[in-house]
Structure 1
Amino acid sequence: MKFSQQLLEAGQPILQAIYQHPFVEGIGNGDLPKEALTFYVGQDYNYLNAFIKVYAAAIQKSQTRADMAIFAKQIDFILNSEIHPHHNFCNVAGVKYETLQHEPQAPGTYLYNEHMYRAARTGDLIDIVAAMTPCPWTYLEIANRFVKQGKNTDDNVFKPWIDFYADMSHDEDSILQQMYDLIDREAEKYDQHRLDIVKEEFLKSCEMEWKFWDQAYKQTGWRFVKPMKQYY
């Protein structure tokens, strides 16, 4: 079994828990509180800013222009395309997207971002890709599951969100397949102990995907600290 498939198999229990989270179920049912939607968008905007920076770090650790092109394309995608599902949530919540773009990092966002930054600072290319893969993997799995369940109907206010991520999986040049290929290629350079560390990094990101939904649903902020807004 390829190493990328070993990672996906190990992450299945967490993926199942994500399916069952009330925020995710709310997307499928077309019903979520405004507060949860706005909290999510503010935090995901923050998270995707970090995602862009980590993709840039992956470019620095790439040895070929072909690899660089993969990450450059994803930076462009986040900057210019992944705003559409954010707009869907904002439209349903009745708020302007621009008003949510400077929210302080919530604890879960901070932890997730630092996890990715650590992979970029101290790891190799395989560490970065393993830490970043759970985000697109779980989102595409969620969306495709909803499509199979017939949840992307015209009366579901979150149909644009579902369709956006479901359509991504049909791309012949799928980012997920490219990431799997990178992981499998790089995995050949390491022994089992090193790959076990990579697997742990992957699984931590999977768990933080669950936590990201959970903090938005509960609007979990800092208890004692009043963090500053983010201006970038």
Structure 2
Amino acid sequence: MTKFSDDLWHGIDGLLTKILDLPFNRDLASGTLDADRFRFYVMQDSLYLNSYSRALSVASAKSPTTEAMLFFAQSAQVALEVERALHAGFLHQFGVSDADLAAAQKSPACAGYSNFLLATAATGSYEELVAAILPCFWIYWHVGQEIAKISAPDNPYQAWVDTYNAPAFADAVKEAIAITDATAAAASPAERQRMVTAFNLCSVYEWMFWDSAYRQEQWPVTV
């Protein structure tokens, strides 16, 4: 019998291929990604991680086990630490000042993804939230692994690749998957279907996030 997570992953096979084939990720692997596009991405990622850490904190508070509570609390801390590291690393490297980041607005894709996670944290079930959180772990690990195989020599973005191909990140992903499987095993069929829906939507948001960074997506109108 396959695990719940296996079914989730196989269900997005086609989307995973599309994610790896995005111009952003192809150029990232070859080291030819335009610096302005990466700068846009890192700024949006910093804004997203602030919201993601809040969703992880709520998951910790809702967790039925001490192990899951600790995992999500530690993951929330790591997300904030990564955000700080972006300030000291890539943001500084690509000329983003604190004032630039303070004035930055979430792109439509970033806002949609962030708001869905926060809305699920506030009004959804623990089961839905666990499933919604998982794609950011799992898909980034997958992309990091795949790009590491073909990353160009002296790739200026190698530090990014190494972050998501690191053994420590792999361990965190595996724990998130295990928690998702345990959560699904105790859930009703209807709740498991809601988990699938949340996982699939957030997987689509992952595609949208990279695509929007390549296009440096802006709001179509402003007030």
TM-score with structure 1 setting the length: 0.87
Q: After superposing the two structures, state which structure 1 stretch, 178-187 or 74-83, moved more.
A: 74-83
Task: Give RMSD over aligned pairs.
Answer: 2.1
Structure 2 unaligned spans of 5+: none
* 2:30–2:152 Cα contact (<8 Å) kept: no
Q: Which amino acid counterpart does residue 69 of structure 1 have in structure 2?
A: L
Q: How many residues align?
A: 221
Q: Displacement of 1:96 after TM fit?
A: 3.3
Equivalence for 1:40? 41
Q: Percent identity?
A: 27
Instruction: Rate the CA distance shift 1:172–1:58 in 2: closer, same or farther, 3 A.
Output: closer
Q: In 2 relative to 1, CA 100–66 (structure 1 residues): closer, same or farther, beyond 3 Å?
A: farther
Secondary structure of the residue that 2:168 maps to in structure 1?
coil
From the two aligned structures, give the one with the greater helix fraction: 2
Matches within 5 A, 1:59-208: 59-81=60-82, 83-84=84-85, 89-90=90-91, 94-96=94-96, 98-102=98-102, 103-149=104-150, 151=151, 153=153, 155-167=154-166, 170-171=167-168, 174-208=171-205
Q: Is residue 54–residue 116 contact of structure 1 (8 Å, CA) maintained in 2?
A: yes
Asked if the contact 1:43/1:106 (under 8 Å) is kept, the reply is: yes
User: 1:217: which partner in 2?
Assistant: 214
Preserved contact between residue 41 and residue 100 of structure 1 (Cα < 8 Å): no
Kept in 1, the 8 Å contact 2:137–2:176? The answer is no
Inter-partner Cα distance in structure 1 for 2:193 and 2:173? 21
**Alignment deviations for residues 47-102 of structure 1 (CA, whole Å, 9 cap, x no partner):** 1000011011112211232222101211221222455467664466x313534422
Which moves more between the two structures, 123-132 or 78-87? Answer: 78-87
2:22 is aligned to 21
Q: Distance in 1 between matches of 2:100 and 2:66?
A: 35
CA contact (8 A) 1:146 1:162 kept: yes
Instruction: Evaluate the alpha carbon distance shift between residue 112 and residue 55 of structure 1 in structure 2; reply closer, same or farther with a 3 A threshold.
Output: same
Taking the aligned partners of 1:208 and 1:49, their CA distance within structure 2 comes to 16
Report the residue type matching 1:180 in the other structure: I
Query: Which stretch shifts more, 129-138 or 62-71?
Result: 62-71
The secondary structure found in structure 2 opposite 1:13 is helix
Tell me how far apart the structure 1 counterparts of residues 76 and 169 of structure 2 sit (CA, whole Å). 18
Find the aligned partners of 2:17 and 2:85 in 1 and give their Cα distance: 26
SS of alignment partner, residue 223 of structure 1: coil
TM-score by length of 2: 0.90
Q: What is aligned with 1:50?
A: 51
Code of the residue aligned with 1:163 in structure 2: it is D
For residues 129-151 of structure 1, give each alpha carbon's deviation from its aligned partner in whole angstroms, at most 9, with x where no partner exists. Answer: 211111121111111112223x1
Amino acid at match of 2:181: D
Q: 2 CA distance for matches of 1:65 and 1:51?
A: 21
Q: Mark the runs of 5 or more structure 1 residues left unpaired by the alignment.
A: 227-232
Q: Which residue of 2 aligns with 1:3?
A: 4
